[in-house]
Chain A
Amino acid sequence: MKRQPLLVVEDLRVTFDTPRGRVEAVRGVSFELGREKLGIVGESGSGKSQTGRALLGLIAGNGRIEAKRLSFDGIDLLAADQRTLRSIRGARISMIMQDPKFSLNPVISVGEQIVEAYRVHTKASKREARERALNMLSAVRIRHPEHVFDAYPHEVSGGMGQRIMIAMMMIPEPDIIIADEPTSALDVTVQIQVLAILDDMVKERGTGLLFISHDLNLVASFCDRVLVMYAGRVVETVAARDLRSAKHPYTRGLMNCLPRIEGDGSDLPVLKRDPEWAQ
């Protein structure tokens, strides 16, 4: 028998009102997320982040979320009251945001922020929380966790900031992790090590991972399935291992844009968009 999916999304729409009219950022997206690694790829502005954020209700003030169904572990997220939503956010569904540096408070030390984030969701003592924070920092391969614990956000490199955010989101052991470009600032060896930690959470704890990324090769090798988004829609859903041989001309166009290590350095093909894809 098939296991109940963790998350069911049906006909999700995100619309923004702007002085220049309505922007339909997400236009009828449907998918289910099980205890798996589901990738979302697509060009900039295609609606990947807004899809992820809508699941937590984190849409800007001028935006509106609509859906036929949005359910998490049997809870109807559209009908849930604020209290229920607050108890889900962060603790049961957490999101690693696209801009780590913007998400950290510049005047509070890194360690204090992780400890506070953890204590919001648990009754852990300060000492316990500190212990876990340090463990988590070394788990995401930060070399001198004590040094980084006391550092302020402007004193850490781009890649460290990203790992600090990942550590912060994983400490409460949520059921679903929405990771928006979580490793774009990491060097590739650290990247695959951090992904291995997420991979373990999926395999060992049954976490559902929604993995948003521009990096098609990474998604192809890391995820189980992939949603390919264009202009607010899913144009194609493929098994990750088949991404490199995808049928849709848009997906193929994206793959062709990639420079290759073995390439000869000549100009890269750029995407030629077809209005048909948006239909």
Chain B
Amino acid sequence: MSVAPMIEVDGLEVVFGHGSRAFRAVRGISFSVEAGTSFGLVGESGSGKTTVLRAIGGLLPQSAHVSGLMRLAGETLGIERSRAFRRRVQIVFQDPYGSLHPRHTVDQILGEPARVHGLHRVDDRIRRALLEVGLDASFRFRYPHQLSGGQRQRVAVARALIIEPEIVLLDEPTSALDVSVQAEVLNVLGRLRREHGLTYVLVSHNLAVVSHMCDQLAVMQHGMVVETLNVGQMRTDTPEHPYTKQLVRASRGYDRAAVETLEEFEV
């Protein structure tokens, strides 16, 4: 018997609003992620990447209409997410400034999810979580504004990990960080995945970050997946879809000639 993938998304649709204002942000996408691997989502701005993460995490606003199937280790997910689900799946948001409560200390920020999930030995867990992301005990009673961007993002990672999830959804986890801090955070994420067998879904505009972190990736455009490929295909520059080829070329830097050759892909 084969083991079910950790995450399966099958024909996912997300529509915002109603009637003439209805907008189909995600238009029937499917992918699956094996346990312990890391899956990248790249693609056009506004193509629905964040919306997909929010749909998996059960964090879409009331105004969103969701259809299609999502399964976690073979179990179908409903609209309401149980506390047990929330313990298994955590999201790290893009913005390290906005996502931490400004008047809570690092200690409170990390302690809250542990208490909500009724975990024991919270004190130990906080200490361990900080250590895991490479922050020493002196950070424990600081406020977010007393931390650098990279330190905040590490606190956000620690908060996601403190309840020992199996799946971590990462939305542009390093795009607000400078390259040296990005390297630190990516190293931490890579090590934690290896040590704890975590499964990641990583959204990023940076193809180098995705190549570095992921095994497979899906390329999105207009709410659809145009291609799913192995990182090997990215590294050897052999994607199939013309849009993916454009992405790879554009990620080599600014090139006026490349700009002129860009094509619009209409739906």
Contacts and interface: CB of A to CB of B under 8 A. Distances in A.
A188 B247 contact: yes
Interface stretch (B66-74, B108-116, B123-131, B175-183): B175-183
A261 B208 contact: yes
Contacts of A190: 44-45
A184 B184 CA distance: 19
A196 B247 contact: no
B177 to A, nearest CB: 7
B208 A221 contact: no
Given A99-B97, A190-B45, A259-B212, 16 more contacts: A43-B180, A44-B177, A158-B94, A187-B44, A187-B45, A218-B253, A220-B253, A221-B253, A254-B179, A260-B208, A260-B211, A260-B212, A263-B212, A268-B186, A270-B187, A271-B180
Given A189-B262, A257-B179, A259-B212, A44 B256 contact: no
A249 interface: no
B183 to A, nearest CB: 4
A259 B211 contact: yes
7 contacts: A156-B46, A158-B45, A158-B50, A191-B250, A214-B177, A257-B182, A268-B183
A186 interface: yes
B50 A187 contact: no
Contacts of B231: 265
A43 B211 contact: no
A23 interface: no
Interface residues of A, number: 49
Contacts of A185: 45, 172, 175, 205
A159 interface: yes
A196 B172 CA distance: 24
Interface in B202-249: 205-209, 211-213, 231, 234-235, 237, 246-248
B209 A259 contact: yes
A227 to B, nearest CB: 15
A192 interface: yes
Interface in A235-279: 253-254, 257-263, 265, 267-271
B43 interface: yes
Contacts, number: 142
B208 A159 contact: no
Nearest to B208: A259
Interface in B16-50: 16, 23, 42-47, 50
A216 B247 CA distance: 18
B150 interface: yes
Nearest to A203: B256
Nearest to A37: B254
Contacts of A44: 148-150, 177-178, 181
A59 to B, nearest CB: 18
Given A157-B50, A160-B46, A262-B235, A189 B180 contact: no
A262 B251 CA distance: 12
Given A43-B180, A192-B259, A159 B250 contact: no
Given A189-B246, A257-B179, A221 B190 contact: no
B80 interface: no
A126 interface: no
A162 B182 CA distance: 21
Contacts of A99: 97
A262 to B, nearest CB: 5
Contacts of B183: 257-259, 268-271
A180 interface: no
A261 B253 contact: no
Nearest to A222: B254
B255 interface: yes
A103 interface: no
A270 B187 CA distance: 9
B212 A192 contact: no
Contacts of A158: 45, 50, 94, 172
Interface in A166-206: 184-193, 195-196, 199
Contacts of B246: 189
Contacts of A265: 190, 211-213, 231
